[in-house]
Chains A and B, each alone.
Chain A
Amino acid sequence: DTGVSQNPRHKITKRGQNVTFRCDPISEHNRLYWYRQTLGQGPEFLTYFQNEAQLEKSRLLSDRFSAERPKGSFSTLEIQRTEQGDSAMYLCASSSLLMGQLTEAFFGQGTRLTVV
């Protein structure tokens, strides 16, 4: 499978616990995005990487959230001290920006987080 892969697909955690999600993008893509989606809404941008550099973070990304892409390949998104409001689908997407032109972003199947 050469698409975007996210693990786990589902995560149930107790409030206050830390969780970490992983995203493996399409291998030749240099851009990786994280989004959050709640019911009835479109995906909301959280952060993105160009290669290993994290270039932009949304105001939605509180101090409890951290993302890494250490070698410019896979990425992790960690949420510390989870709150019930963190319950959502976390989506990862990848694309390429080449010579000023962006290619289409392909999404993974998401990680559904439920905080109880």
Chain B
Amino acid sequence: GESVGLHLPTLSVQEGDNSIINCAYSNSASDYFIWYKQESGKGPQFIIDIRSNMDKRQGQRVTVLLNKTVKHLSLQIAATQPGDSAVYFCANPAGGSYIPTFGRGTSLIVHP
């Protein structure tokens, strides 16, 4: 069935390093992907999205890469800061109803 999963539950990095968070999906027909950041006690916050007609999209300090061949996407955060510490989710609007579906998330821990 359709699923969106995260490779690692926790990622620890040093402040200033680049972070890469990975996500796999199973539905080859998926055409839209969204990355969210969720801080403790808050709702998910939109970071960046990408549609399947692109393989790369850049935002402020973030880049999303989409590899449709292996059904994988990644979120790269440049010069990671302590404020980037949060749980990151990839979401994939699934099925004909286009309902965003989430995996468990990756907890990013940034050490000063």
Q: Tell me whether chain A's interface is mostly helix, strand or loop, or mixed.
A: strand
Known: A102-B93, A104-B34. A97 touches B100 (CB 8 A): no
Judged by a CB distance under 8 angstroms, whether A91 is at the interface is yes
Whole-angstrom CA separation of A72 from B41 in the bound complex? 28
Residues from chain B with Cβ under 8 Å of A41 in the complex: 104-105
**A107, B44: Cβ atoms under 8 Å?**
yes
Known: A56-B97, A56-B99. A43 touches B104 (CB 8 A): no
**A91, B46: Cβ atoms under 8 Å?**
no
Q: How far is the CB of B35 from chain A (nearest CB, A)?
A: 10
Q: How large is the interface on A (under 10, 10 to 19, 20 to 34, 35 or more residues)?
A: 20 to 34
Q: How far is the CB of A67 from chain B (nearest CB, A)?
A: 14
**C-beta contact mask, A1-35 vs B, less than 8 Å → 1, else 0?**
00010100000000000000000000000000101
**B34, A42: Cβ atoms under 8 Å?**
no
B: number of interface residues (CB 8 Å): 22
Residues from chain B with Cβ under 8 Å of A104 in the complex: 34, 46, 49
Residue from B45, B99, B102, B103 in contact with A48 in the complex, judged by beta carbons closer than 8 Å:
B99
Known: A33-B99, A102-B93. A42 touches B43 (CB 8 A): no
Whole-angstrom CA separation of A48 from B100 in the bound complex? 10
Residues from chain B with Cβ under 8 Å of A43 in the complex: 44, 89, 102
**B43, A110: Cβ atoms under 8 Å?**
yes
Q: How far is the CB of B62 from chain A (nearest CB, A)?
A: 14
Judged by a CB distance under 8 angstroms, whether A40 is at the interface is yes
Residues from chain A with Cβ under 8 Å of B61 in the complex: none
**B43, A108: Cβ atoms under 8 Å?**
yes
Which chain B residue lies CB-closest to A31?
B98
**A107, B43: Cβ atoms under 8 Å?**
yes
Most chain B Cβ neighbours within 10 Å, of A42, A56, A109? A42
Whole-angstrom CA separation of A4 from B44 in the bound complex? 11
7 residue pairs of the A-B complex, CB under 8 angstroms, read A33-B100, A42-B102, A42-B103, A45-B100, A102-B93, A106-B46, A108-B43
